[in-house]
Amino acid sequence: MTLIGQPLRFIATAMLVLFAVAGPTAAQTPATATATDSASPHYLADRLAAIRDHSAALIEEVPNLPGDFARVAASFAAGAEGHGGVGRVILGFVLCLVAGLAVEWLARRGAARLRERLQTAAIRNVGDRLKRIGIETGVEAAALLGFAVGTLGVLLWHNWPVVLRESGISLLLALLGLRLALLMLTVVLRPHDGAARSLAVIELAVPAARFWLHYLGGFVGWFLFGWAVIQALRVLGMPKPGLQLLAYLMGIGLVAIAVAIIWRRPVPAPSAESGPGSNAGRWTASILAVVMWLIWTASAMMIFWFLVVAIALPIAIRVGHEAARHVMRPVDNDDGTQGTVSVASVFVEQGLRAALIVGGIWVLLWGWNLDVGALAGQETGFSKLVRGGLHALIILLAADLAWSLLKALADNALVRAQAAEGLDAEETRRRGRIRTLLPIGRNILFVVLVVMAGLMALASLGVEIGPLIASASVIGVAIGFGAQTIVRDIISGVFYMLDDAFRVGEYIQSGSYKGNVESFSLRSVKLRHQRGPLFTIPFGTLGAVQNMSRDWVMVKDQIGITYDSDVDKAKKLIKQIGIELAADPDLAPKILQPLKMQGIEQFGEYSINIRMKMMTKPGEQFVIRRRANAMIKKAFDENGIKFAFPTVQLAGGSKKDGDTAEAEAAIAAQRMMKPKPKAAE
């Protein structure tokens, strides 16, 4: 969740709470709204009385339920009497199913070759994966459409009464809905072993995928079966209290399936789910499922739909996030490395989240029978707040989507701009400049986007942002005076970037600080010393910068040889070593000018100092110089050229003893002539 997503989630939650608190009053017509407002202190008592009356009506309907079923059976028999009886009608319904299955078989037979080609096609990128998923889903949907055309066509061909025809259509629609749900679950979960597992939209193990397919399919199937039965019984003449009571009784099956899912769902780490906390969570979820059924049976639909959206929306957002990230994952490269995340995947992920949030609010409005058009025409405080909240939500959704796309573009550009071998100097400089400037530009863009989205959201909520901007300007000036150092650091950093003084990865030195540039912020740069310490230096105190990683490096060395050495021979050897270094395939790309001797630098007390130089790429001079020194030492030893070093010669014989005695006498005389230090007072 991004930083823009935090206020977005807050606005969405606030909208749900706002609808829950004030939604009933806003749904009223102007005439009834006045009456409701005048009796608002008794609103809770009126709701409790309505719940009590509803419960009493259901209890009174229990003894009448067998009679209602008898009347429904009589109505069905009467409708079937003119068309061969009940058995003939059931046979006709079976024929509808057979016709639908036959058309579906033909559709699958016609798409068999296409399915074979899809199974052998290679997946080289995300587009290939999406194309295969889409085509396979389309083939299955086409087969299911053939089943629908066959069943409904034969059903409409029968000259049945309206009562039987509508009942049959309800049952067939429920069957089609169940098969469509199973189709989508199969595409999403891929619960079967094989190569097609890689095409699953959600990454789950095979046992977990089968669990969710069976239990979610059972939940959807029971719900659709109950809906079809209720619709058929309504057409056949069952009264409304009986339909409500039967619906509530069938709702117990949904609660049972939900509780089974809560307690039997597979978990990735059983050890983490075996403690008392996990059982407490399961008990809480089970009790919540029962409470929601009780709220539904009490006909407190405002609270019911609020709980449905409040519980289902976070789960849907999380599942959608994981599904979008998995199905849009990059395909591995040929060398086995993972590819970069595309901008399209970010667009799908964030767009899906925005669609789910808007869909959750739409479900809430639909469940509460709120007319958005009528609400927009009102000028009450609640209507203005609702309009402002919707506008703020749209603004934050758009800002969050824009930031996610821009961040993905920047991240992909940074990945492509990483240093690599075999690049020319111009491309290396360009990539280094991108790695330097892009993070700073991304941070600045984020701040600008957050400020603009926040101001627009506040303006849509009715907040006057003019005084707010003026106050922010005054506060900004005050902060600027109080934080001159920070402002100086930021401005200095901007000019360093404009001057292209250094880039990420370059080795620089400023005063007593030196190291490789690791990263930037708005006010400081981080230098990593070669021994490990990390320096964080504000731009304002950085001063003059010595960049040691630009263009080229001139290496100049000086060595001393003895006076009896052959200087011309040493020059030839050094030149030959330079040629050999330039011919080395590992070192040749790093050497810009080969090693050569410039001549005699000076005559020392005990050596002839000769000077050498070569030009290399920045940062490569150390390895090349060490190799050159080793080769020079070996070549000089083999050719009789000696390195000079200080020596002391001592004469031998009796003369040595006399000279030593004279030297010692002279030293003793000098010591006697020195003035003695005064004693400390």
Residue 260 lies in a domain: no
The mean of the pLDDT values for the chain is: 77
Q: 315 and 262 in contact (C-beta within 8 Å)? A: no
Tens digit of pLDDT for each residue in 275-327?
Answer: 445 688 889 999 999 999 988 888 888 888 888 888 888 898 888 888 888 88
**Worst-scoring range by mean pLDDT, 199-208, 467-476, 602-611, 666-675?**
666-675
Strand segments, DSSP code E, in 529-573 are 534-538, 546-547, 553-561
The pLDDT score that the predictor gives to residue 28 is 45
pLDDT in the model for residue 29: 41
What is the signed CA dihedral for 89, 94, 96, 101, rounded to 10 degrees? 180
| Residues 326, 345: Cα–Cα separation, whole Å | 9
pLDDT of residue 39: 40
- Residue 663's CB is within 10 A of a number of other CB atoms, namely 10
Using CA atoms in the order 201, 204, 210, 215, what is the torsion angle rounded to 10 degrees? -80
Token pair 């094989």: residue:
194
Q: Are both 369 and 480 inside the same structural domain?
A: no
pLDDT at residue 592 tops 60? yes
Asked whether residue 223 carries a pLDDT value surpassing 90, the answer given is yes
Q: For residues 312 and 451, state if they share a domain.
A: yes
Regarding whether 310 and 439 lie in a shared domain, the answer is yes
Instruction: State the sign of the Cα–Cα–Cα–Cα dihedral 445, 447, 450, 453.
Output: negative
DSSP 4-26: THHHHHHHHHHHHHHHHHHHHHH
Q: In whole angstroms, what is the distance from residue 294 CA to residue 280 CA?
A: 21
Residue 24 has what pLDDT?
47
| Domain that residue 25 falls in | 1-31+299-457
Verify that 528 and 588 share a domain, yes or no. no
pLDDT for 243 beyond 70: yes
Residue 90 identity: I
Asked if residues 251 and 297 have their Cβ atoms less than 8 Å apart, the reply is yes
Range 195-211 average pLDDT: 81
Alpha helices for 584-641 (secondary structure H): 621-638
- Model pLDDT for residues 326-381, shown as the tens digit of each residue: 888 776 655 555 556 677 777 888 888 888 888 888 888 888 777 666 665 666 66
pTM: 0.62
**Given 524, 550, 576, which residue is the final one in a domain?**
550
Domain presence at residue 518? yes
> Within a domain: residue 516?
yes
**Residue 644 contacts by C-beta under 8 Å, 6 or more apart in sequence?**
560, 561, 562, 563, 604, 606, 607, 608
Strand order from edge to edge, sheet including 507-510 = 534-538, 524-528, 513-520, 507-510, 546-547
Confidence grade of residue 36 (pLDDT, cut at 50, 70, 90):
very low
Residue 266 DSSP SS3: coil
How far is residue 348's CA from residue 401's CA, in Å, rounded to a whole number?
10
- Is residue 306 domain-shared with residue 453, that is, in the same domain? yes
CATH number, domain at 484? 2.30.30.60
Lowest mean pLDDT among 14-23, 112-121, 144-153, 521-530: 14-23
d(CA 657, CA 651): 10
Determine which helix (DSSP H) or strand (DSSP E) holds 601, and give its type and residue range: strand 591-603
- Pair 305, 453 in one domain: yes
What whole-number percentage of the chain has pLDDT above 70?
78
Q: Number of C-alpha atoms within 13 angstroms, CB side, residue 139?
A: 19
Least-confidence region, from 394-398, 465-469, 529-533 = 465-469
Looking at the predicted structure, is the pLDDT value of residue 488 above 50? yes
- Residue 408 inside a domain? The answer is yes
Amino acid at position 257, single letter: I
Which residue, of 535, 550, 565, is where some domain finishes?
A: 550
pLDDT (average), residues 617-632: 85
Task: Return the percentage of the chain with pLDDT > 90, whole number.
Answer: 7
Instruction: Specify the CATH number for the domain of residue 594.
Output: 3.30.70.100
Q: What is the average pLDDT across 213-239?
A: 90
Tell me how crowded residue 68 is: count the other CB atoms within 10 A of its CB. 20
CA distance 96 to 100: 6
Asked if residue 51 belongs to a domain, the reply is no
Task: Report if residue 328 sits inside a domain.
Answer: yes
pLDDT tier at 512, thresholds 50, 70, 90: confident
Q: What are the percentages of helix, strand and coil residues in the chain, rounded to 5?
A: 70, 10, 20
pLDDT single digits (tens) 452-487: 888 888 887 777 777 767 766 666 666 666 567 777
Based on the fold, state whether residues 521 and 627 are members of the same structural domain. Answer: no
Place of tokens 């150092």: 485
Residues in Cβ contact with 120 at an 8 Å cutoff, skipping those fewer than 6 apart: none
Total domains present in the chain? 3
